[in-house]
Amino acid sequence: MKSEEFFIEAKKYLPGGVNSPVRAYKPYPFFAKHGKGSILFDVDGNDYIDYCLAYGPLVLGHANFKIINDIKKQLEQGTAFGVPTQKEMELAKLVIEKVPCAEMVRFVNSGTEATMSAIRLARASTGKKKIIKFEGSYHGAHDYVLVKSGSGAVGLPDSPGVPEDTTKNTVLIPFNDEETLLDLIKKEDDIAAIIVEPVMANIGCIAPKNGYLKFLRKITEENSIILIFDEVITGFRIAEGGAQEYYDVKPDLVTLGKILGGGFPMGALAGKKELMEMIAPSGSVYQAGTFNGNPISVTAGLSMLKQLNNNFYVQMDKKGDYLRTLIREILDDNNLNFKLAGLSSMFQIYFTQNEVYDYKDAKTADTDIFNRYFHELLKKGVFVPPSQFECCFISLMHGEEEMDRTAQIMEDHLKKLK
Ligand X SMILES: *Cc1c(COP(=O)(O)O)cnc(C)c1O
In the complex with ligand X, the residue whose CB is nearer, 24 or 407, is 24
Nearest CA to 345 among 308, 380, 375? 308
Question: Rounded to whole angstroms, how far apart are CA atoms 259 and 304?
Answer: 8
CB of 194 to ligand X, least distance (A): 14
In the complex with ligand X, the residue whose CB is nearer, 155 or 267, is 267
The residue sitting closest to ligand X, measured at its beta carbon, is 111
In the complex with ligand X, the residue whose CB is nearer, 74 or 137, is 137
Question: Rounded to whole angstroms, how far apart are CA atoms 335 and 76?
Answer: 57
> Would you put residue 363 in left (φ > 0), alpha (ψ -120 to 50) or beta?
alpha
φ, ψ of residue 32 to 5 degrees: the values are -75, 145
CB of 304 to ligand X, least distance (A): 15
CB atoms within 10 A of CB 293: 26
- Give the active site residue among 48, 138, 212, 247: 138
Q: Are 229 and 254 in contact (CB under 8 A)?
A: yes
Q: Are 119 and 170 in contact (CB under 8 A)?
A: no
CB of 148 to ligand X, least distance (A): 13
72 is catalytic: no
In the complex with ligand X, the residue whose CB is nearer, 253 or 330, is 253
CB of 311 to ligand X, least distance (A): 26
- Give the active site residue among 98, 130, 258, 319: 258
In the complex with ligand X, the residue whose CB is nearer, 228 or 403, is 228
CB atoms within 10 A of CB 31: 16
Q: Are 251 and 228 in contact (CB under 8 A)?
A: yes
Question: Rounded to whole angstroms, how far apart are CA atoms 264 and 24?
Answer: 22
In the complex with ligand X, the residue whose CB is nearer, 230 or 402, is 230
Q: Are 104 and 273 in contact (CB under 8 A)?
A: yes
What are the residues whose beta carbons fall under 8 Å from the beta carbon of 314, sequence distance 6 or more? none
Degrees, nearest 5: CA angle 196-202-207: 60
- Give the active site residue among 50, 70, 230, 358: 230
CB of 257 to ligand X, least distance (A): 4
138 is catalytic: yes
The binding site for ligand X (CB under 6 A) comprises 110-112, 115, 138-140, 197, 201-202, 230, 232-233, 257, 267
**How many CA atoms lie less than 13 Å away from 254 in the CB half-sphere?**
32
CB of 279 to ligand X, least distance (A): 19
In the complex with ligand X, the residue whose CB is nearer, 233 or 316, is 233
CB of 414 to ligand X, least distance (A): 27
Nearest CA to 107 among 124, 127, 90? 90
CB atoms within 10 A of CB 14: 12
Question: Rounded to whole angstroms, how far apart are CA atoms 17 and 7?
Answer: 6
Residues annotated catalytic, as ranges: 138, 230, 258
